[in-house]
Every structure is written in structure tokens, then in C-alpha cells.
Amino acid sequence: MYLVDTNVLSELMRARPDALVAAWARDLTAMTISVITLEEIEYGLALRPSARLERWWRSFSEGYCEILPISPTIARRAAHLRATHRLRGRQRTQADMLIAATAHEHQLTLATRNQRDFTGCGIRCVNPFTVPAP
């Protein structure tokens, strides 16, 4: 099972998504996203409205995906991850660490184009832009 990052979901929303990403997603019966990804997608749609993208997003979010909330356990883990990285001289965003902590808590592999942002977070990652379908 995968936790799908915003950059992968955004690619799937394109009129002509990357062939590898489309192939990777084709056989998935459902996708799981973080509430952080929900916010990022909704922000993008509010900033640059598109009737086509909004229809796609509504259909997808209402019938095809599970949205995981941020629990106190996830928030604590994200804080620890961000502090650990900061102490080692590496900046990590709050959003990315909340996504990493969500993947860890639910034992999901994170599907992201930005694997480097999640190095050292104790989670498995896959890059659908470079790997064949599952």
C-alpha cells in the first residue's frame, strides 16, 4: 500500500501524465493520501481554478482515495524528525515531515518524486517517475 505525495497526484491530474506514473497508478484500486496533500491540492485549485481539474479532483477524492488525518502520534513523530534533521544541518519542511510520519505510522510506502526530501525518515519510498508499475 502507498501513501501518495502531492507531486505524484499532481502529475496524475495532468491532461497527459508521465507514462511511467500513469502505468504505476493504473493497477492501483485505491490511493491513500495525507491531509497535507489534500490541503496542497485544494490550495493549488483555489489559486488557479480549472473546471477540468476540479472535476477530476472531486471524482478522485470522493471515490478513489482515503485521506489520513494528522494524529497526535504523527505530529510528535514529525516534530522529532524535523528537529533531528535540523540538528544535523538539514532543513526539512513541516509538511514533508508530517507526510513522512504519516507513512511511518500507517506502515505505508511513500510514492514521491522527491525521495531526497525523505531520506533519513525511516520510511520506504518509491519514485513512480522512474520505476515500472507495481
Rounded alpha-carbon distances, angstroms, from residue 16 to 10, 22, 66, 110: 11, 9, 24, 23
Residue 119: DSSP 8-state: T
DSSP H helices, the chain, are: 6-13, 19-26, 35-47, 51-63, 72-87, 94-105
Query: Which domains does the chain carry?
Result: 2-126 (3.40.50.1010)
Give the pLDDT of residue 134.
Answer: 57
Give the pLDDT of residue 29.
Answer: 87
Residue 31 CA to residue 61 CA, distance in Å, equals 9
Query: Which residues of the chain register pLDDT less than 50?
Result: none
Residue 38 CA to residue 67 CA, distance in Å, equals 8
The set of residues, in sequence order, having a beta carbon less than 8 Å from that of 123 and lying 6+ positions away, is 100, 103, 104, 108, 109, 110
Give the pLDDT of residue 133.
Answer: 57
